[in-house]
Every structure is written in structure tokens, then in C-alpha cells.
Chains A and B, each alone.
Chain A
Amino acid sequence: MRIKEHPILEFPKKEKVKFTLDGNEMEGNLGEPIAAALVAEGIEVLSRSIKYHRPRGFFCAIGKCSSCLMKVNGIPNVRTCVTELEEGMKIETQKGKGDFN
């Protein structure tokens, strides 16, 4: 969900781009962090922990906590909170340490 009205801030309309999460088509704003676009689309689980496969969501937003590591265009362990969204990106929920398969 996105903020529609705000007393101080303006959120000018941004260029929309399409991307996929685990094959499902989604939409976000060009250049915003991938993880922010996912939260806006109602996605809570970004990755699964290594040992117990516990769900991991958006946490620090400054690329420090590893909670949002995902597979982006085939590359695992991308810090999606500090990586900009681009048209046609293929995002995958990362399980554990991630792989290149």
C-alpha cells in the first residue's frame, strides 16, 4: 500500500515499471528500492533463514542487516533495500544462503 495523502510530503507520480516476484507479475516505481516496492505490493517475506527457514522481512533499510537478501536476475544475496528497481527485473525469494541455479 502507498500513502495517498500527506500534510507535508508530496509523492509525485513516478514512472511505473513491471517486475516479477517468483514468477508473479508486480508493479513498482522506477528507481525505488526493490524491497520498498515489494512492501508496497503487500509482500512481507523476502527471504528464509538458513537453518530453520524462518521468514525474513524488511528490517533496517540501510543494507546492514541481511534480512532482505534476495535473488535478483539470477544473482543471490542482493541487498534489495539498497538496490534500485528496474523494468523487467526477475526477483526471487531467497532460501538460505542462496545459489546461482
Chain B
Amino acid sequence: MKKTDIAIIGGGPAGLSAAISAASLGAKIVLIDDGLELGGQLIKQTHKFFGSEKQFAGIRGIEIARNMIEELKGLENVEIFKKATVTGYYEDNVITVVRGAKEDILEKIKAVRIIVAAGASENMLPFENNDLPGVYGAGAVQTLMNLYGVVPGKSILMIGAGNIGLIVSYQLLQAGIHVEAIVEALPRIGGYLVHASKIRRLGVPIYTTHTIKQVYGTEHIEKAVICEIDKNFKFIDGTEKELDVDTICLAVGLSPLSDLLWHAGCKMKYISELGGYVALRDDNLKTTKDNIYIAGDVAGIEEASSAMLEGNIAGLNAAVSLGCSCKDFQQQNNKLKSELSELRANPLSEKVKEGINKVLIKGKRG
């Protein structure tokens, strides 16, 4: 059985940052990712990041991922398993990994610490015929067009005007694909207005207090019906509009992929502000299990910038808890935490902060 100091599950922004932080202190790392490429959602993000310079503002997600992967490749104490899926957690701190081109290798890894940075999956939305081909998650649309240069459809209806909905709409337009409209159930646009105005300038209408009612078609989408909704999210009769689209792109939120944390017996709580069930944690991202840390979307749906800082904090703390020496640990740890609160010091992060407060374990623990 393979043995390591820290197993990191997930090679997106949080997992890569955790690996870099922990490895720089000398911890032996195994990083496991189930995608074809490392980098998680970062490798599809062609837009420049916002926020402070420390948090990569002005750099495109794809470049951030490339730099982090390069940095890790040069490190002897880091082993990377790509195309590998963690399928279980066992109480002696062993995880099972399925890997290999034919998914025919089952490997056991015993790790002293585990950092779960498994990310999130996209939410579905109930509407008639929502299972037809042509209904995509926004992340899937990004994968097709930004990673593989494949056109997902000819005419798109975007559901959701949060940052993901707005950014993916803009990316579709950049790729020369028609976006018919964006609908948003809430009375106002949830994402940054900069993105919204860019899209509006390009002639795409954004309908707030609207949602999708149904799509028509048998083998694929022929038409979509959108409808205005009232305060209780009920359809207002007579406000239906038919749109000539062949593709629906769902950007209606994400849910943490917390299966492994349940499996491990971490104390979990449903926090709607964080997107679903998340693990209780202290401010060093340690869960109720002393050997398990979390970082990124699995700890609460947020953004890549905060995921990277959480990764750094989890990586640093996991390594130091193993006995890796870090002369200015307190100073580094505090610096990362203050950068994180700086990043969250804006009105859009209020909900996230409320959510975190509900799962934060306060005070010193043994």
C-alpha cells in the first residue's frame, strides 16, 4: 500500500494551491484528480480575474492553472495521479483510488492527512423536458468550447445571471455563438454589472424575474418557453414568450461534492448560503476529524480566488500539524486569513460569510 504524508483530493484551484503550500514545507504529497487535465474549472476560464493583485487579478484562469501545474511538476515530493477517482474513505485513513486508462487499477493510499478539495457539481432546474439533449450545465458548455473548441449549439438560452451565467454568455459570444437571451429568476442581476453591461452592449437581453417554463422537442430542443414569475416564484399566466433556441445552458448554482466527507464521518450541516451540505470546520479549514481538511467549493460555493487561499491555508496547516517546520507559521497563516477576509469584504460575499459563520468551529481545540 502506498503511504504518504498528505493526500489531496481534487486538482482544481484549491487542491493545486494546497499542494504547493504543503509541498513547500517538505511534506510528501499525493494529488489525485479525476479529470483528463489538472486545473479543475480554472482551465476553462478565459476571462481575467477581478480582485486584488495578490489574488491574480488581471490574469486569466487558464494561465493561473498553467503556472501552478508547472510549479508542482518541478517538486520531487509531489506525486500526481490524473484521471484517477477516489472512491472511498476508510477509518484507518486509507482511501481507495480507481485509475488507469481502462479504470482497472484499484489502489489503496494511506495518508496521515487528507485535504478534500473535490469541488462542486452543477445544479439542475425542474422544467418540462429538462432531460432533452441540448440542456447543458454551464461548466459543460465551457469545457466544450474553451477546452476542445467544440460548438455546443447554434442558439443559446442562458438560465441564470450570476457571474457564471454572465461570463459563460460572454464566452459564447466570443466564440461566435448566438445567445438569444439570459433569464434570471431574481429581481436583479446577481453577477458583476461590468459583465452584464458588456453582454447587453452586444445586444443580448437579460430578463430578470423570468425563468424557463418548458422546452419543446422529442430528440432535441426545438423551442423554449420563458415566463415571468411573481414574488413566490410562480409563473404569471399570459407572460410566456417563445424563444427560438436549440440549447439551454444552466447556470443556476452549484452544490458541494461532499460525498467523501460524509463517508469519512465528518460532521455536516445544510447551509443554503454555501450551496448545500458542508463540513463543520475551524478557521484553519480542519473538519471535525483531526486528519481531514477541506478547501474550495466543497467547503462552500465561492470563487476560484477564495478557493486558492483556502487551499493555501489547508495545505499550510495540514503540513505543520504533521510536524513540518515552518519558522513563521503564525505570521503566514494570519496573512492568508487576512487576505481571505479582504477578498470577502464586498457586498456579494455577505451571504457566504453568513454561511461560514454557521459552520465555523470557534476557539482552540485539541
Contact = CB atoms under 8 A, between A and B. Distances in A.
A and B pair up: yes
Interface of A: 1-9, 11, 29, 31-33, 36, 39-40, 44-46, 49, 54-65, 81-82, 84
A60 B151 contact: no
Contact of B36 (A4, A33, A54, A57): A33
B145 A39 contact: no
B176 A59 contact: no
Interface stretch (B136-144, B266-274, B355-363): B136-144
A56 B174 contact: no
Nearest to B146: A9
Contacts of B219: 44-45, 55
B135 A11 contact: no
B91 to A, nearest CB: 26
B174 A8 contact: yes
A61 B149 contact: no
Contacts of B174: 6-8
5 contacts: A5-B176, A11-B149, A44-B134, A49-B131, A54-B132
A32 B60 CA distance: 22
A77 B247 CA distance: 25
Contact of B133 (A33, A55, A60, A63): A55
B133 A46 contact: yes
Nearest to B246: A44
Nearest to B62: A9
Contacts, number: 101
Contact of A57 (B34, B135, B146, B175): B135
Given A36-B144, A44-B219, A46-B133, A62 B35 contact: yes
A2 B152 CA distance: 9
A45 B60 CA distance: 33
B337 interface: no
A32 B148 contact: yes
Interface of B: 34-36, 46, 60, 83, 85, 121-122, 131-137, 139-140, 143-146, 148-152, 174-176, 218-220, 257
Contact of B121 (A4, A49, A55, A60): A60
B34 A82 contact: yes
B139 A62 contact: yes
Given A60-B121, A62-B34, 7 more contacts: A9-B46, A31-B36, A40-B151, A44-B133, A45-B219, A55-B133, A57-B135
A33 B145 CA distance: 12
B140 A59 contact: yes
B248 to A, nearest CB: 11
Q: Which 6 pairs across A and B sit closest by C-beta, in order of nearness?
A: A57-B133, A61-B140, A11-B149, A44-B133, A61-B143, A1-B151
A61 B137 contact: yes
A16 B136 CA distance: 26
Contacts of A7: 174
A59 B125 CA distance: 13
A10 to B, nearest CB: 9
A11 B139 CA distance: 19
Nearest to B145: A3
Contacts of B85: 63
A31 B148 CA distance: 10
A61 B133 contact: no
Contact of B122 (A2, A45, A60): A60
Nearest to B133: A57
Contacts of B46: 8-9
Nearest to B140: A61
Given A5-B176, A54-B131, A62 B148 contact: no
Contact of B131 (A1, A39, A56, A81): A56
A84 to B, nearest CB: 6
A82 B83 contact: yes
A45 B133 contact: yes
A97 B284 CA distance: 44
